[in-house]
Amino acid sequence: MIDGSVVGSISNERTVEIPVEPGSHALRVESTRYLLSPEVSFEAIAGQVVGFSCHPRSGSPIIFTRWLIWLLASLVKHDLWIGLQLDDASSASHGVMSASARRSMPRPEVEASRIQSGLDARSASVRAETITSVPARPGTKAQSALVVSDLTKRFGDRTAFSDVSFDVGYGEVFGFLGPNGAGKTTMVRTLGTLITPTSGSATVAGIPLSAENGVEIRQRIAIMPESPGLYLRLTVTENLEYFAGLYGLHHAETRISDALGAVNLGDRASDLCGALSKGLRQRVGLARTLLSDPAIMFLDEPTSGLDPVASLEVHNLIIGLRQQGVTIFLTTHRLDEAEKLCDRVAILNTTLRTVGRTAELREQLFKRSLVVNVLAPLSDPDQFFARVPTVEDWRSDGPGSYVLTVSDPKVAAPEVTRSLVAAGVDVLSIGEAKHSLEDVYLELIAEDVGARQP
Amino acid sequence: MMGLDATRVRAVVRKELLDYRRKRSIVVSMVLLPLLFLVEPVVSIFLVTPLDSGSALDNYVVLPLLYMLLMAVVMPSTLAAFTVVGEREQGTLEPLLTTPLREQEFILGKAAAVMIPSVALSYLVYGLFLGAVALFAHPAVASAVFHDGPTLLALFLFAPLVAGWSVVVGMAVSVRASEVRVAQQLGMLASFPIIGVVLLLAVGVIHPTFTVAIEFAAGLLVIDVLALRIVSRMFDRERLVTGAKATRA
């Protein structure tokens, strides 16, 4: 320890969590061991602690030289001690070390990790907390995790998606919906650098989308395809060990154990993947995406094939990850799932049909309405509702059931009730009509279908 | 091949070797094939009579040794043909491509994983063959075998090189093929040039000397390295994931 601001060592992978007063603080990071580690300042976000990890890195393309530097670094042995010092002298000096020293951040060669404190201690959140430390970058508050601008992908004459633009903030769960063949999976593959866009641009985790930046981007994201794609002759642990190696995790045992714990598969770690059910394989796939501590997770139908209990566990995990600040890009056909989990949704049908919060989409697409149920049908509803000023329009929704278009349900409901009671009508119920995300989805997709018909 | 990460290459090699061990058909072929390649040369050597003239004896000795060289070509071709298209067929390629793994690291790791058991088994068979000759063959035949420097050198020097050739050809086919079966059949083509060279040696068009051995080895090494680079360039993520060639505006 140098002084009170030093909090741990990276190679020991110790995490020391010290609460930071809410507010923004400038933090100074200093390396006392490796000359290659630069001094960098990061912003600490309110209620959060920023952590860092560094490791020596040689820019030499010759593998031997890089090995030599690693070897020398390991001989020095003392790891990297970092002092975190709040510029604001009135605040106590606090900091936290990153749990992972393995990932190499490109510019600068220092990694910051955000560990949210004071979380709601729900079980899913707690499980997620053990496995994520989301990379933060200078000014992350102002940046978006994903920025997509006029992105188009064509395969010959076929257009997968066209002129799609949206952005996703850090820590947001973003639902990406659309019918089969709408281009959702192609979008995920494009943003995951698996395929090249035909035109347009995007930024993924702060890095411009390009083939040259592919490795850098893939280091910061994790993609769970619809089919988990496991090696069936290997055990669950062996599958995860393989991917841990591909992500360059040197001490992967803990992360593997945590990832399996997060999807409740700890007791199946030694089972061959070939012996697992589809649902369990899906959970192994999900555990695999958690391994690399990603800033953005692309989940393609994560609950496909899962039973309701397992689906609920995945939902809780996603909620927990969101609370950790992990950005989640969720493609799903389950609209109830999207409505429950997503902060915002986008509906794609080759072109982007809409994007926004579900409540906003409802308001955009549907006029506000009241549903009125009465004991006996009205003799002349046209004449009756015409006398109520707040009712703009009405339609029948079955015997004794009416849907009234109104501008403000809170004003209209008492007035309609009074009118009905005054007319001697027995009112069974009256309430605002709730449009689900499914209604929004079907409305938009039906428009497309209608537009295509001659 | 710049910017290769040894950890990722090692991870690929380790997983491949583990997967081979768990696949019974691979284990069986890895045991049976070397035995088949061992029987013929041993029988041939033991049928040679020491009464043959020196040059005839030399010819009798050279052929079994060269025959064994084919093992290093044939063994890896099937495995190499599976490397990419096999992953694609079993649905494991896409998750793999979502990791920071580079194309070159993938190709190098897969190639090494195929070569390591193939070359090790080739050397094991050579060792068994030479042991059998030393212990049981007529002293004159044994002497002819052990004094045939160029051929022995070729055997040990060429085993990894021809295996490398076989691997890169198999992988080139695997990167482009749509099915494992097609890839495995086409991968066998890799052995044709090597069989051709062995035939030319057998009929005396090429005379095995130290110089010829070294020249062939150097040539093969250059070809292997170049072919590996070409295979890396052939590796098109987009085509492998979607079946469509990558296009830009």
> What mean pLDDT do residues B184-212 have?
77
Q: Report the pLDDT value the prediction gives residue B197, as an integer from 0 to 100.
A: 79
Q: Is A223 on the interface with B (CB under 8 A)?
A: yes
Q: Which residue would you say has higher pLDDT here, A16 or B101? A: B101
Residue A68 belongs to some domain of the structure: yes
Q: Report the pLDDT value the prediction gives residue B215, as an integer from 0 to 100.
A: 85
| Residue contact A61–B2, C-beta within 8 A | yes
Residue B247 belongs to some domain of the structure: no
> What mean pLDDT do residues A117-123 have?
32
A231-277 pLDDT per residue, tens:
999 999 999 999 999 998 877 899 999 999 888 889 999 999 999 98
Question: Measured between alpha carbons, how far is residue A263 from residues A235, A284, A296, A450 in Å?
Answer: 16, 8, 18, 42
Scanning A174-213 for CB atoms below 8 A from B yields 186, 189, 192-196, 198-199
**Which range in A116-120, A131-135, A225-229, B11-15 is most confidently predicted, on average pLDDT?**
B11-15
For chain A, how many structural domains are there in total? 3
- Computed over every residue of chain A, the mean pLDDT equals 73
The answer to whether A167 and A111 have CB atoms below 8 angstroms apart is no
Instruction: Indicate if A47 and A190 belong to the same structural domain.
Output: no
Question: Measured between alpha carbons, how far is residue A251 from residues A13, A100, A120, A269 in Å?
Answer: 9, 9, 29, 17
> What mean pLDDT do residues A342-366 have?
83
Residue A98, pLDDT > 70, answer no
Residue B15, pLDDT > 80, answer yes
Q: Report the pLDDT value the prediction gives residue A49, as an integer from 0 to 100.
A: 39
Residue A161 belongs to some domain of the structure: yes
Instruction: Indicate if A192 and A281 belong to the same structural domain.
Output: yes
Task: Please give the backbone phi and psi of residue A158, each rounded to the nearest 5 degrees, phi first.
Answer: -90, 135
In this predicted structure, which of A277-286, A320-329, A428-437 has the lowest mean pLDDT? A428-437
- Interface confidence, given as ipTM, is 0.85
Q: Report the pLDDT value the prediction gives residue A62, as an integer from 0 to 100.
A: 57
| Residue contact B3–A231, C-beta within 8 A | no
Identify which of A199, A233, A248 has the shortest CB distance to residue B22.
Answer: A233
Report chain A's C-alpha Rg in angstroms.
Answer: 27
Identify which of A224, A245, A247 has the shortest CB distance to residue B10.
Answer: A245
Residue of A nearest to B238 (CA): A195
CA distance A89 to chain B (A): 41
Q: Report the pLDDT value the prediction gives residue B236, as an integer from 0 to 100.
A: 87
Token digits for A361? 């989409």
Question: Measured between alpha carbons, how far is residue A34 from residues A4, A138, A164 in Å?
Answer: 21, 22, 44
Q: Report the pLDDT value the prediction gives residue A246, as an integer from 0 to 100.
A: 94
Q: Report the pLDDT value the prediction gives residue A449, as an integer from 0 to 100.
A: 60
| Residue contact A196–B8, C-beta within 8 A | no
Cα separation, B23 vs B87, whole angstroms: 14
Position A207 confidence tier, pLDDT thresholds 50, 70, 90: very high
Residue B48 belongs to some domain of the structure: yes
Q: Which residue would you say has higher pLDDT here, B132 or A440? A: B132
| Residue contact A195–B11, C-beta within 8 A | no
Identify which of A156, A222, A229 has the shortest CB distance to residue B91.
Answer: A229
In this predicted structure, which of A404-408, B105-109, B143-147 has the lowest mean pLDDT? B143-147
Q: What DSSP character marks residue B189?
A: G
> What mean pLDDT do residues A389-413 have?
88
Choose one of A345, A361, A377: the last residue of a domain.
A361
In this predicted structure, which of A38-47, A203-212, B85-94 has the lowest mean pLDDT? A38-47
CA distance B12 to chain A (A): 7
Q: Which domain covers residue A327, as residue numbers?
A: 144-361
Q: Report the pLDDT value the prediction gives residue A19, as an integer from 0 to 100.
A: 47
Q: Residue A34, exposed/middle/buried by CB under 10 A (0-12, 13-18, 19+)?
A: middle
Residue B41 belongs to some domain of the structure: yes
Count CB-CB contacts under 10 A for residue B236. 17
B226-247 pLDDT per residue, tens:
988 898 888 888 888 887 665 5
A320-342 pLDDT per residue, tens:
888 888 899 999 888 888 888 99
Position B95 confidence tier, pLDDT thresholds 50, 70, 90: very high
Q: What DSSP character marks residue A347?
A: E
> What mean pLDDT do residues A93-118 have?
29
Residue A81 belongs to some domain of the structure: yes
Choose one of A361, A379, A405: the last residue of a domain.
A361
Instruction: Please choose, from the candidates A169, A314, A392, A155, the residue with its C-alpha nearest in 3D space to the C-alpha of residue B244.
Output: A155
**What residues of chain B lie within 8 A of the CB of A270, using their CB?**
none
Instruction: Indicate if A25 and A48 belong to the same structural domain.
Output: yes
For chain B, how many structural domains are there in total? 1
The answer to whether A316 and A123 have CB atoms below 8 angstroms apart is yes
Q: Is A275 on the interface with B (CB under 8 A)?
A: no
Q: What DSSP character marks residue B97?
A: H
Instruction: Indicate if A103 and A159 belong to the same structural domain.
Output: no
**Which range in A129-133, A230-234, A278-282, A290-294 is most confidently predicted, on average pLDDT?**
A230-234
Q: In a 3-state reduction of DSSP, which class is residue B242?
A: helix
Position A115 confidence tier, pLDDT thresholds 50, 70, 90: very low
Q: Report the pLDDT value the prediction gives residue B54, as an integer from 0 to 100.
A: 59
Cα separation, A118 vs A114, whole angstroms: 13
Q: Which domain covers residue B171, as residue numbers?
A: 6-240
**What residues of chain A lie within 8 A of the CB of B2, using their CB?**
61
Cα separation, A52 vs A328, whole angstroms: 23
Residue B153, pLDDT > 90, answer no
CA distance B8 to chain A (A): 5
Q: Report the pLDDT value the prediction gives residue A34, as an integer from 0 to 100.
A: 37
Identify which of B19, B101, B241 has the shortest CB distance to residue A189.
Answer: B241
Cα separation, A63 vs B58, whole angstroms: 45
Task: Please give the backbone phi and psi of residue A53, each rounded to the nearest 5 degrees, phi first.
Answer: -140, 150
**DSSP letters for B108-166:** HHHHHHHHHHHHHHHHHHHHHHHHHHHHHS-HHHHHHHHT-HHHHHHHHHHHHHHHHHH
Q: Report the pLDDT value the prediction gives residue A119, as an integer from 0 to 100.
A: 27
> What mean pLDDT do residues B1-27 have?
87
The answer to whether B142 and B133 have CB atoms below 8 angstroms apart is yes
CA distance B223 to chain A (A): 22
Residue A401, pLDDT > 80, answer yes
Q: Report the pLDDT value the prediction gives residue A89, as an integer from 0 to 100.
A: 36
Q: Report the pLDDT value the prediction gives residue A235, as an integer from 0 to 100.
A: 96
Helix, strand and coil percent figures for chain B, each rounded to 5: 80, 0, 20
Residue type, position A301, single letter: E
| Residue contact B92–A229, C-beta within 8 A | yes
> What mean pLDDT do residues B153-173 have?
87
Sheet holding A96-97, edge to edge: A96-97, A48-54, A110-116, A134-136
Chain centroid to CA A122: 18
Number of residues in chain A: 454
**What residues of chain B lie within 8 A of the CB of A292, using their CB?**
99
> What mean pLDDT do residues A186-198 have?
94
Start-to-end CA span in chain B (Å): 27
Position A205 confidence tier, pLDDT thresholds 50, 70, 90: very high
Per cent of chain A over pLDDT 70 is: 66
Instruction: Indicate if A13 and A80 belong to the same structural domain.
Output: yes
Query: What CATH number is associated with residue A380?
Result: 3.30.70.100
Q: Report the pLDDT value the prediction gives residue A192, as an integer from 0 to 100.
A: 94
Instruction: Indicate if A86 and A217 belong to the same structural domain.
Output: no
Residue A129 belongs to some domain of the structure: no
Count CB-CB contacts under 10 A for residue A287. 29
B100-131 pLDDT per residue, tens:
999 999 999 999 999 999 999 888 888 888 88
Q: Report the pLDDT value the prediction gives residue A81, as an integer from 0 to 100.
A: 35
Residue A140, pLDDT > 80, answer no
Interface test with B, best of A209, A212, A246 (most B CBs within 10 A): A246
Cα separation, B218 vs A178, whole angstroms: 57
**DSSP letters for A148-214:** EEEEEEEETTEEEEEEEEEEEETT-EEEEE--TTSSHHHHHHHHTTSS--SEEEEEETTEE--STTH
Per cent of chain A over pLDDT 90 is: 30
Instruction: Indicate if A159 and A49 belong to the same structural domain.
Output: no
Cα separation, A404 vs A384, whole angstroms: 12
Q: Report the pLDDT value the prediction gives residue A174, as an integer from 0 to 100.
A: 95
Q: Report the pLDDT value the prediction gives residue A117, as an integer from 0 to 100.
A: 28
**Which range in A102-106, A268-272, A406-410, B34-38 is most confidently predicted, on average pLDDT?**
A268-272
**What residues of chain A lie within 8 A of the CB of B18, using their CB?**
234, 238
Residue A361, pLDDT > 80, answer no
Choose one of A118, A153, A184: the last residue of a domain.
A118
Cα separation, B72 vs B183, whole angstroms: 18
| Residue contact A199–B244, C-beta within 8 A | no
- Computed over every residue of chain B, the mean pLDDT equals 83
| Residue contact A245–B96, C-beta within 8 A | no
The answer to whether B57 and B144 have CB atoms below 8 angstroms apart is yes
Instruction: Indicate if A385 and A357 belong to the same structural domain.
Output: no
For chain B, which residues lie within 8 Å of any Cβ of chain A, measuring from their own Cβ? 2-8, 10-12, 14-15, 18-19, 22-23, 90-102, 237-238, 241-242, 244, 246-249
Residue A309, pLDDT > 80, answer yes
> What mean pLDDT do residues B32-38 have?
83
Instruction: Indicate if A395 and A290 belong to the same structural domain.
Output: no
List, in sequence order, every beta strand (DSSP E) within A243-305: 296-300
Please calculate the CA angle B135-B140-B145 and round it to the nearest 5 degrees.
70
Identify which of B12, B94, B246 has the shortest CB distance to residue A229.
Answer: B94
Sheet holding A25-31, edge to edge: A6-9, A81-86, A25-31, A40-44
